């Protein structure tokens, strides 16, 4: 068998992780048709069908799943070998809003590592105000946060995040009682939008749990204590969207902004892969 093309293997790994030819193409700075061509050639070379293509999604075949681990190791070893020739140690410090990350955080970190194993990623998870303060002080190279109240800050819109109401499977509110809520407190803009929507709908509520981060609020929801206001992507296993069942009003979506102080290709590429993974 001839030597595998590392570019094709990397295209396979990105497509599998991002579940999209389009997102993989954006991460690699090539066209979607070029990604498809790379994957087709890789499949022909291996004599195996790695991906099942449908109009709505891209998923791994059984053989693709078996090949993915080895493909990751090959890409990682290749990038490490290239990075070993770089005399300057590279580091990228990124801040991410705790409202955006939940149980999928390990897979997000893995995607960044697989993209460039020689780039040392340091991550800070926190609230938008504290992360923006750290960014402005030069303590962060980049920040992925909900749009700050000060819209003069220079950043670019990365994607739009949807929020909703989540509770434990089978949870029901007590008749005649206010809706118990788990939120991030009065300083949280998402919480403000949520309770405003409840007030406008004439739904009484009480705040029974205040915590920081999707993981903490998700625990309150799964534990049956309250209905949590969460980003859909960050809802933990065991929590379900109860907005329809309880006739709760929609929560306005929030813009997610990317702020970056670096212009080198390597850092920008890593941030692009991270953003694509969220989208």
Residue 95's beta-bridge partner residues?
124, 143
pLDDT score of 74: 85
Nearest to 190 by CA among 251, 242, 241: 251
CATH architecture of the domain covering 163-251: 3-Layer(aba) Sandwich (3.40)
List the chain pLDDT tens, one digit each, 279 residues.
568 888 898 888 888 888 888 888 887 878 888 888 989 889 888 888 998 877 667 888 888 888 888 888 888 777 767 665 554 557 788 999 988 887 666 666 776 666 666 677 888 988 888 999 999 899 999 999 988 876 656 788 888 999 999 999 999 988 889 999 999 988 888 999 999 999 999 999 999 999 988 889 999 999 999 999 999 888 888 999 999 999 999 999 999 999 988 877 778 878 887 787 776
Does domain 91-160+255-268 correspond to CATH entry 2.40.50.180? no
Residues 6+ apart with CB under 8 A from 109: 121, 123
pTM for this model (two decimals): 0.67
Nearest to 110 by CA among 251, 16, 210: 16
Listed in order, the ranges of the chain carrying CATH 3.40.190.10 are: 91-160+255-268, 163-251
pLDDT score of 147: 86
pLDDT score of 87: 43
Half-sphere exposure of 18 (CA within 13 A, CB side): 27
CATH code for 6-85? 1.10.10.10
Listed in order, the ranges of the chain carrying CATH 1.10.10.10 are: 6-85
CB contact at 8 A, 100 and 212: no
- Residue 9 host element (H or E): helix 6-18
Residues 6+ apart with CB under 8 A from 243: 164, 165, 249, 250
């Amino acid at each position: 068998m001839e030597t595998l093309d590392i570019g094709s293997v990397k295209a396979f790994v990105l497509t599998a992780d991002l579940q999209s030819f389009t997102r993989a193409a954006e991460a690699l700075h090539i066209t979607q048709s070029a990604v498809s061509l790379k994957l087709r050639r890789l499949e022909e070379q291996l004599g195996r069908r790695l991906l099942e293509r449908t109009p709505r999604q891209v998923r791994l075949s059984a053989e693709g799943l078996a090949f993915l681990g080895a493909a990751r190791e090959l890409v990682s070893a290749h990038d490490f070998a290239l990075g070993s020739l770089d005399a300057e140690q590279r580091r990228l410090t990124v801040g991410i809003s705790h409202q955006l990350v939940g149980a999928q955080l390990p897979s997000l970190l893995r995607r960044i590592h697989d993209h460039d194993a020689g780039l040392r990623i340091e991550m800070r998870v926190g609230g938008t105000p504290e992360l923006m303060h750290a960014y402005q002080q030069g303590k962060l190279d980049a920040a992925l946060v909900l749009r700050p109240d000060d819209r003069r800050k220079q950043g670019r819109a990365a994607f739009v995040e949807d929020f909703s109401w989540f509770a434990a499977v089978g949870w029901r509110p007590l008749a005649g009682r206010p809706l118990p809520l788990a939120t991030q407190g009065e300083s949280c803009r998402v919480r403000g939008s949520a309770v405003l929507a409840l007030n406008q709908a004439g739904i009484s509520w009480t705040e029974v749990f205040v915590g920081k981060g999707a993981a903490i609020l998700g625990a309150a929801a799964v534990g049956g204590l309250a209905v949590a206001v969460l980003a859909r992507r960050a809802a933990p296993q065991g929590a379900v969207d109860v907005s329809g069942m309880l006739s709760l009003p929609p929560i306005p979506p929030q813009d997610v902004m990317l702020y970056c102080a670096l212009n080198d290709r390597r850092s920008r590429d890593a941030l692009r892969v991270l953003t694509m993974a969220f989208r």
